[in-house]
Structure 1
């Protein structure tokens, strides 16, 4: 029997497997948010970047600046998500910003103006940050009580939406780019149309999550901030490191002679690896590993995923190996961060904690592509910028190890 509108999926009635199945379906419906917020709005830009770079004669610094504009909007969206959710309501703001993100995707197809595209990337960053943060909190509330490991699994199902979005964009965008010089416009248009369709499962998912009860804070207290400080540092470095790779790896592969079909294969493999590993590995590990071990492990594995395209001979094997390793780990970062916030903060502070961690993530994502782009414009080309990504990920792993455990009441 399905959950009634406005009620959380039951935990104490019916066979346990059936209960978990219903909860997973709710998390999967909410995953429509990250499909659009990250899979389309953020990561698909890497697929579209080479064509936009060529048609509009951008420098790599300009190309990185587009992602920086998106990340700045993301910072503001993440910083205000808790307040918006408290004022407007979690369900309403999740659906409203998801709808706005769909409109931004559609509007991006309509202009080649650099300032207008910068503005759209900024607005898209804002709306998708709110969607992602509030959706993470809704996913955290699917399982109530002290079932930490099952809650981590539901969060992982939600985060798998990013990989699903990457797979969809990996199939849709290269086909659109093959239609001619204006193919980049068609790519954004198709993703916008899919984002409109995604509103239906997102709406159904929100109907099955009970609104959080009790008092909820829009900001964290000083001791809560100190408690999470190492995770904040980890997330800044991690965000800068992983997004630099995601922004420029496609451009690197194209510069090394890989054709459109191989680029599409790379992106689809990356997305499939993300979905499979997030559901089968990281959802369980994030709930079991204590303190900062899960974030540290994530950073190390993502670092290993960057290395094949930098160290191995140019070709499909290096690209696929990189896609598998990187794809299998990069979205474990948000999963680990959400689980840490849930574990270490009282229930009423979850939204504020996840939002503030996402701000840290966004700061890294704003800085990383711009610095990586500037390095890529100089001697050494794109690979030089990607070495920055690798170094930042190692620093992130070290920072995470300073995180200590704390069980909130």
Structure 2
């Protein structure tokens, strides 16, 4: 007899596609298109690294606020409506970025965009991943999170193809934000047509039990937050780093394109290592690989440094994000949505601090070497914590 909450296999493709497009819009464009657009803004608006870090941190403050708000259960039964509303808001906010040159307004807009991206990530994931889990299909997660990488790659290509002089009096960076808004609008329409009504369990309206903070869950959440600090420094400033000393914009375009393409397939590729290493082992290895990638960013000469850095960033940060959340959900089976929300909040705290510290250190030292090495050290510390706690985490999750 078929379980009533089991999702038919033929319904999974549009669901996974809706998740991928939603993540491409909210994360690839709503959050990460700031990275390839930033060098043009810094040049044409005379923004300092500290200014750029402030704008980035405002986005992450919004992401934190959205993640915390999502954990209170007010959206139970209304996940689809909240997700689509957040995608519409993302489109509007991308448009708004091209309509001002004020540092204060940039920060406010990016704050709101952070809220919208957190809502989309949490509530769309609740719908899509629950249906993949109900059907026992691991490919849904790969496609869903792969959308972030596709969004990054498309945003990089869009910025690269824009004429240097912009369009009809618009600066290049303004045209990039407007182009992102157009892509986001189209994506939102497609998601609205494909996204199912809610999580597969049929219990979306029920409130979860209070979250129980076991030692493994505390450790995983801590490392997840520190990972947010470590990865975001390169994710924010990689293209700006690539522009330093480059004769044209090709290297910065390729660095971010490689980041996106490697991110798009990373979860699928890393999944092949799960049977041998387990999810916790893959999570640990991802932290180590990204830490090494950050060291190579400052150790290798240009143009190889940003290209290798982009490859290793893309190959790990989506996977670590996805598997970290999966581990957190497994450690809190009675309150998985709360675990997801609080881990996302910890991630958000790390992301807030990262750009501020990196911008300040880069402005003081004149390069991004010191903040990049700091980020690598933080990731190595995370790997050490997981290694020390690994036996307990595996015992608690069976992963």
Q: Give the TM-score taking structure 2 as reference length.
A: 0.89
Taking only aligned residues, the RMSD between alpha carbons, in angstroms, comes to 2.5
1:170 to 156, 180, 188: 156
2:313 to 326, 336, 340: 326
1:384 maps to what in 2?
A: 370
1:15 maps to what in 2?
A: none
2:287 to 283, 289, 299: 299
1:354 to 328, 334, 340: 340
Hey, what's the Cα distance between the residues in 1 that align with 2:194 and 2:214? 31
Question: Which is worse superposed, 104-113 or 153-162?
Answer: 153-162
- Structure 1's unaligned 5+ residue stretches are 1-6, 11-18
Change (3 A) 1:291 1:59: same
**Aligned-pair CA distance for 1:29:** 1.6
Q: Is the 8 A contact 1:27 1:142 kept in 2?
A: no
Determine if the alignment matches structure 1 residue 250 to structure 2 residue 223: no
Query: What SS class does the counterpart of residue 83 from structure 1 fall into?
Result: coil
Query: What SS class does the counterpart of residue 381 from structure 1 fall into?
Result: coil
Hey, what's the Cα distance between the residues in 1 that align with 2:70 and 2:199? 19
**Aligned-pair CA distance for 1:285:** 4.1
Deviations 1:182-237 (A, max 9, x none): 1101101101111011112322332275554336446742x345441111111111
**Aligned-pair CA distance for 1:322:** 2.4
Hey, what's the Cα distance between the residues in 2 that align with 1:358 and 1:49? 25
1:73 maps to what in 2?
A: 62
1:237 maps to what in 2?
A: 226
- Structure 2's unaligned 5+ residue stretches are none
Q: Is the 8 A contact 2:97 2:174 kept in 1?
A: yes
1:367 to 353, 377, 384: 353
Query: What SS class does the counterpart of residue 307 from structure 1 fall into?
Result: helix
Deviations 1:71-127 (A, max 9, x none): 000001011113366356111111111111111001111111111111000000011
Hey, what's the Cα distance between the residues in 2 that align with 1:302 and 1:236? 15
Deviations 1:298-341 (A, max 9, x none): 111112222332111222x3332222222111111221122213
Query: What SS class does the counterpart of residue 213 from structure 1 fall into?
Result: coil
Change (3 A) 1:257 1:35: same
Determine if the alignment matches structure 1 residue 159 to structure 2 residue 148: no
| Alignment length (residue pairs) | 387
Change (3 A) 1:407 1:266: closer
**Aligned-pair CA distance for 1:55:** 1.8
Change (3 A) 1:258 1:308: farther
Question: Which is worse superposed, 333-342 or 193-202?
Answer: 333-342
1:130 to 103, 107, 119: 119
Change (3 A) 1:103 1:312: same
